[in-house]
């Protein structure tokens, strides 16, 4: 598979740090971002690379040469004028599916798994999708459980209730997709290529918790350098079992108000978003695991519960925090209540303290339960941790509350997160 790297950006937001070199050559932890990308492509077995250059293109040519120093073959497409994020693709002889990368990304991704997903889906385009730490300026993706994209838009166009799922800047594209488009100058990948083809049903989101982060602003560059120093990209590799922090919802993340049946009732506990951000920064997967019998009781539909969780993700995202997974149990075993939904009145294996939610997450996200925590404000959460083989953490300010042996106790989630 050929890789095309869009390395022509001017890097205006980084100009305060380095205006004398192209953005793709700005060093992250002592090594140019473009060098890190070429090394990652070589590791993933991709040897054929085309660099799309524009601003200060000669510096990129001088640095990369023919690619021999990086173990790849490099060709160049130099834009005499800016062609947009897709314009250059119409000037290349692309006959097979290819990988497209933004030139400001630091990433550690199993590209083979992404390519397999793309092939199985018979996709025109497969977009690497993940929760964003800056959803207010990220391209939002709406997708179903299979990954089929139903909506794709700028952050300011996103629906009021939407999960935090963003386009990371890595895509596998088919030449067939380009043939469906009418070239123009400039040509924007999102607006002119992807969005017009969403209705084909062949644009897919490849969801992954693997490490992808852009370094396009001074703050994000600092975050990337911090992550590299801590080894976070390697710790997020798909092949490695991951440590997770499982989080109860009501009373742990949001203020306990009894049964919540509408999005506006969600109110984060002070410091909760900061705590989740700390969990994110330390390389743990942050996974929601919550009993929501409001569905079984008929007080809330599954669709409304989804909107509630969209609101929760939005509030976290406003403070740079995100969840890697959302798991909930809608069931309740007791029957005979007015308005109940009989479909969910069952003795399931997912209602805490049973470990079903955690076991499912462990299978889907490759989680090492023995290295993970279950954090909540109830004894039920402690017992869930024990049943799943996790480390129990109880959040309480009650000095008289009984604490089972081996349980860590903190006054709130932020205190716990700071202890990691």
Domains of the chain by residue range: 2-218, 241-419
For 363-404, what is each residue's pLDDT tens digit? 999 999 999 999 999 999 999 999 999 999 999 999 888 898
Looking at residue 10, its pLDDT comes to 67
Q: What are phi and psi of 76, to 5 degrees?
A: -130, 145
Looking at residue 216, its pLDDT comes to 85
For 164-180, what is each residue's pLDDT tens digit? 999 999 999 999 999 99
Distance CA 162, CA 349 (A): 28
For 116-128, what is each residue's pLDDT tens digit? 999 999 999 999 9
Cβ neighbours of residue 92 closer than 8 Å, sequence gap 6 or more: 4, 50, 77
Band of the pLDDT at 290, cuts 50, 70, 90? very high
Cβ neighbours of residue 145 closer than 8 Å, sequence gap 6 or more: none
Cα–Cα–Cα angle for 220, 40, 63, rounded to 5 degrees: 80
Band of the pLDDT at 297, cuts 50, 70, 90? very high
Q: Strands 105-108, 166-173: parallel, antiparallel or unpaired by DSSP?
A: unpaired
Q: Which CATH number fits domain 2-218: 3.30.110.30, 2.40.37.10, 3.30.450.20, 3.90.550.10?
A: 3.90.550.10
Looking at residue 15, its pLDDT comes to 58
Q: Do domains 2-218 and 241-419 have the same CATH topology?
A: no
Cα–Cα–Cα angle for 230, 284, 374, rounded to 5 degrees: 145
DSSP assigned state of 269: P
User: Helices marked H in 75-165 — which ranges?
Assistant: 84-87, 111-121
Q: Is the dihedral angle over the CA atoms 43, 47, 52, 55 positive or is it negative?
A: positive
- Do residues 156 and 182 make contact, with C-beta atoms less than 8 angstroms apart? no
Q: Dig out the tokens for 127 from the structure.
A: 């977009």
For 184-210, what is each residue's pLDDT tens digit? 899 999 999 999 999 999 999 999 999
241-419 homologous superfamily: HAD superfamily/HAD-like (3.40.50.1000)
For 136-161, what is each residue's pLDDT tens digit? 888 999 999 999 999 988 888 888 88
Looking at residue 357, its pLDDT comes to 98
For 405-417, what is each residue's pLDDT tens digit? 999 999 999 999 9
Distance CA 417, CA 393 (A): 11
pLDDT of residue 16 exceeding 70: no
């Amino acid at each position: 598979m050929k890789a095309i790297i869009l390395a022509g950006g001017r890097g205006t937001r980084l100009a305060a740090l380095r205006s004398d070199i192209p953005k793709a050559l700005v060093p992250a932890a002592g090594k140019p971002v473009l060098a890190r990308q070429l090394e990652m492509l070589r590791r993933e077995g991709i040897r054929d690379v085309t660099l799309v250059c524009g601003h200060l293109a000669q510096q990129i040519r001088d640095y990369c040469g023919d690619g021999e120093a990086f173990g790849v073959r490099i060709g160049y497409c130099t834009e005499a004028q800016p062609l947009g994020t897709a314009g250059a693709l119409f000037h290349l002889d692309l006959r097979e599916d290819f990988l497209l990368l933004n030139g400001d990304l630091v990433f550690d991704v199993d590209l083979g798994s992404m390519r397999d997903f793309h092939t199985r889906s018979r996709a025109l385009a497969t977009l690497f999708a993940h929760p964003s730490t800056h959803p207010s300026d990220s391209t939002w993706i709406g997708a179903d459980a299979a990954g089929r994209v139903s909506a794709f838009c700028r952050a300011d166009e996103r629906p009021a209730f939407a999960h935090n799922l963003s386009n990371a800047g890595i895509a596998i594209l088919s030449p067939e997709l380009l043939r469906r488009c009418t070239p123009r100058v400039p040509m924007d990948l999102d607006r002119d290529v992807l969005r017009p083809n969403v209705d084909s049903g062949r644009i897919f989101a490849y969801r992954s918790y693997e490490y992808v982060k852009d370094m396009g602003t001074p703050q994000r560059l600092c975050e990337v350098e911090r992550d590299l120093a801590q080894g976070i990209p390697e710790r997020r590799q798909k092949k490695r079992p991951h440590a997770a922090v499982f989080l109860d919802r009501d009373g742990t993340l949001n203020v306990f108000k009894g049964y919540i049946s509408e999005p506006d009732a969600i109110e984060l506990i002070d410091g909760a978003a900061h705590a989740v951000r700390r969990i994110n920064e330390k390389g743990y997967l942050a996974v929601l695991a919550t009993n929501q019998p409001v569905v079984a009781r008929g007080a809330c539909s599954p669709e409304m519960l989804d909107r509630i969780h969209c609101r929760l993700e939005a509030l976290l995202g406003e403070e740079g925090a995100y969840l890697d997974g959302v798991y909930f149990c809608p069931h309740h075993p007791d029957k005979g209540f007015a308005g109940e939904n009989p479909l969910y009145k069952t003795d399931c294996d997912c209602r805490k303290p049973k470990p079903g939610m955690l076991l499912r997450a462990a299978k889907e996200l490759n989680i090492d339960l023995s290295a993970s925590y279950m954090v909540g404000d109830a004894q039920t959460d402690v017992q869930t941790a024990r049943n799943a083989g996790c480390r129990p953490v109880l959040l309480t300010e009650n000095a008289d509350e009984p604490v089972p042996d081996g349980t860590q106790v903190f006054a709130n989630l932020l205190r716990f997160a700071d202890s990691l």
